[in-house]
Amino acid sequence: MCKCTAYHHLWQHDAETVVAIMYGEWCKLIKKQLPTKQDGYAIDYIGTDGANYRFIFYQLTIDTDVLISQFKKNAEGNWQSIRIDPYQCLDNKA
């Protein structure tokens, strides 16, 4: 029996694709994505503003990645919790 999501292979279920589309295409925030770390499933990137960002995902047993937190590195080099709503980026384009 398949432990798949109802709509298997949608881009919304893949962490790297979510970051590329929602934060890269919609919000124009990604200058360079760094290699994905499977330890806790972290996706790091350098923003168009020059800052370092980190998105943490949790992978469900049904192969669905869920975004659980977002961080931006502050001037002291510490990760600070942030909240970027990519849907607002779409609203601002309208």
- DSSP state, 41? T
Sequence-distant (6+) residues with CB within 8 A of 5 are 13, 62, 63, 64
Tens-digit pLDDT profile for residues 6-30: 545 565 678 888 899 999 999 999 9
**CB-based contact 40:56 (threshold 8 Å):** yes
**How many CB atoms neighbour CB 19 within 10 A?**
23
The one-letter amino acid code at 90 reads L
Distances (CA, A) of 50 to 9, 12, 41, 53: 32, 26, 22, 10
Tens-digit pLDDT profile for residues 33-86: 888 876 668 899 999 999 999 999 988 877 788 899 999 999 999 999 999 999
